[in-house]
Amino acid sequence: MCTYNFHNLFILSLIFFLPLISAVGSPINIWPKPRSFTWTTPHAIPLSPSFTINSPSHPYLTPSVNRYLRQIQTTQYNPLLTPLINFTISLPLQTLTITVSDLTPPLSHGVNESYTLTVPANTTVATLTVATPWGAMRGLESFSQLVWGNPARVATGLVVSDWPMFEHRGIVLDTSRNFYPVEDLLRLIGAMSANKLNVFHWHITDSQSFPLVLESEPELAGKGSYGPEMQYSAADVKRVVEFGLEHGIRIVPEIDMPGHTGSWAEAYPDIVACANMFWWPAGATWEDRLASEPGTGHLNPLIPKTYDVVKNVIKETTTLFPDSFYHAGADEIVPGCWKADATIQNYLAGNGTLSQVLEIFINNTHPHIVSLNRTAVYWEDVILDATIKVNPSILSPETTIMQTWNGGPDNTKRLVSAGYRTIVSSSDYYYLDCGHGDFTGNNSAYDQPPGFDQKQGGSWCGPFKSWQLIYNYDITYGLNETEAKLVLGGEVALWSEQADPTVLDSRVWPRASAMGEVLWSGNRDEMGVKRSGEATDRLNEWVHRMVSRGVKAEPIQPLWCVRNPGMCNTLNPVF
């Protein structure tokens, strides 16, 4: 009589149900590609059904460990192509042990996210050695991507030493023009963590709606939101912030002002210029428009009451969001809007300028932001706009960060040359909403005879920004070494004029994944050659894995290309 214990049965199941090698396949990869991945002899061993993760207790790392443990134990991920990796029938991997040097650092800009993951051959224990809990989260994601199959197997005999190239890697999402329920924000944050991004820049309010409920100014959301079911309560914000912490994602709020504030007029019509006026009057030149798109309204910096409301908004927002960055907006000040206000007309008649009006606003708000122990982030317009801008001397680089969205590398250079730390969101490369046409109705640009030049497809920032375009963009292009050090990183942006929860995943992923890898480990191989071609197969597989996790990322190629490696490449230059 022969007796089998559970381990014997587990090994037999692996022999019968898992092929040793596949005729067509690819190696297991990690996205984003690690800085150092040593795997001399690729092979895999079983993952124990009782696999565990040993980790020190931490309020945010512990939930992360539990989440990854559930994912690893239940996902049973099946790659698009069976990996060409020898499978060794041996003792299964039983444990991943996490060692953290310092559990105390908060999640903040510049926190150490490095990790070293070791999965030795011929052992039952893997190790993850990190400096902080936030590095542990990055390492856990990498480990999870080394597991596949049913029954599960894990890549072994490898060492991953990894750390980010840029400290700021984020996504801007506009929740004013169209509303996104909290569950959609959480799904976005979860996918960001999987891609080793670390900043959710939440553009909460704009001229179209003010969805953030503030106890100090309840009528802003009460009258300025799309309705009670399209508001974010303090409890909602706390949920998002806590979820971010459990995923290693900082939540940076943006309350855009003094422009983009038409929604404030529903509660305070007396402090908002040109509110509820038609954005581009018939017969007016573009220079005489009141807004750059439908939805007018700028705060009036010359009215004292403006600052009573603004300071309440800023103070309460900083209590809801603990991050040290506070995004104060200050983009797209349209001259026509302020000129339409009688108070500002009188000021201009006295030889004042619109730039001085903006300086009054910045001088009244920037010190307030700094007094709340925050670093102020502004869009580049505040010092680079051709018409309305402040003297940079009133915005100290020590307390101010700039975010660029126009002019590609030229504006990046202008900002860092002035000494500012800079976040890159160039609309030429990083705007995910571009290329979907214009949202204005009765637009004559679309009523043209056949054969007309469609130019940018009706989109001001078209064409569509493909993942390849994003992947090949170098955000420090044209900068010297000193200037490049001032580039904190980048953010792709999804403005929501033509986006909402129904298209969120496909608009963002996998294009944000492309940026994620570039900002984590670069877009060049060891020889300095762009690796977007090599990244294609890896990104196909990563899209498949994201979809298996519930993220509806869009495909980048037909499945035929995946099953016929190299056949969808081009060997000739394309112009």
DSSP string, 225-247: SS-GGG-B-HHHHHHHHHHHHHT
Which of 113, 316, 332, 491 is an active site residue?
Answer: 332
* Neighbouring residues of 361: CB distance < 8 A, sequence distance ≥ 6: 257, 258, 299, 301, 306
**Are the beta carbons of 113 and 134 closer than 8 angstroms?**
yes
246 catalytically annotated? no
pLDDT of residue 26: 55
**Are the beta carbons of 129 and 122 closer than 8 angstroms?**
no
Phi, psi of 204 (to 5 degrees): -80, -45
Full pLDDT tens readout for the chain, 575 residues? 333 343 444 444 443 333 333 323 457 899 999 999 999 888 999 999 999 999 999 999 999 999 999 999 998 899 999 888 888 888 999 999 999 999 999 999 999 999 999 999 988 999 999 999 999 999 999 999 999 999 999 999 999 999 999 999 999 999 999 999 999 999 999 999 999 999 999 999 999 999 999 999 999 999 999 999 999 999 999 999 999 999 999 999 999 999 999 999 999 999 999 999 999 999 999 999 999 999 999 999 999 999 999 999 999 999 999 999 999 999 999 999 999 999 999 999 999 999 999 999 999 999 999 999 999 999 999 999 999 999 999 999 999 999 999 999 999 999 999 999 999 999 999 999 999 888 998 888 788 888 887 766 668 898 999 999 999 999 999 999 999 999 999 999 999 999 999 999 999 999 999 999 999 999 999 999 999 889 999 999 999 999 999 999 999 999 999 999 889 988 788 76
DSSP state letters, 374-410: -EEEEETHHHH-SSS---GGGS-TTTEEEEE-SSHHH
Helix (H), strand (E), coil (C) string for 116-131: EEEECCCCCEEEEEEC
* Neighbouring residues of 132: CB distance < 8 A, sequence distance ≥ 6: 100, 101, 102, 103, 105, 111, 112, 113
Chain Cα centroid distance, residue 473: 16
User: Which residues are bridge partners to 265 per DSSP?
Assistant: none
Pair type for strands 199-205 and 298-299: unpaired
**Are the beta carbons of 211 and 228 closer than 8 angstroms?**
no
pLDDT of residue 24: 37
pLDDT of residue 59: 98
- Count Cβ atoms within 10 A of the Cβ of residue 481 and give its class: 0-12 exposed, 13-18 middle, 19 or more buried: exposed
Both tokens of residue 341? 């206000």
Neighbours of 254 (CB within 10 A): 24
User: Which residues are bridge partners to 406 per DSSP?
Assistant: none
pLDDT of residue 471: 98
pTM of the model: 0.95
pLDDT of residue 71: 96
How far the first Cα of the chain sits from its last, in Å, is 73
- 539-569 CB burial, b ≥16 within 10 A, e <16: bbbbbbbbbeeebebeebeeeebbeeeeeee
Both tokens of residue 260? 């983009």
Both tokens of residue 440? 């204005």
pLDDT of residue 575: 65
pLDDT of residue 456: 66
Both tokens of residue 204? 């909460």
CA distance 329 to 324: 16
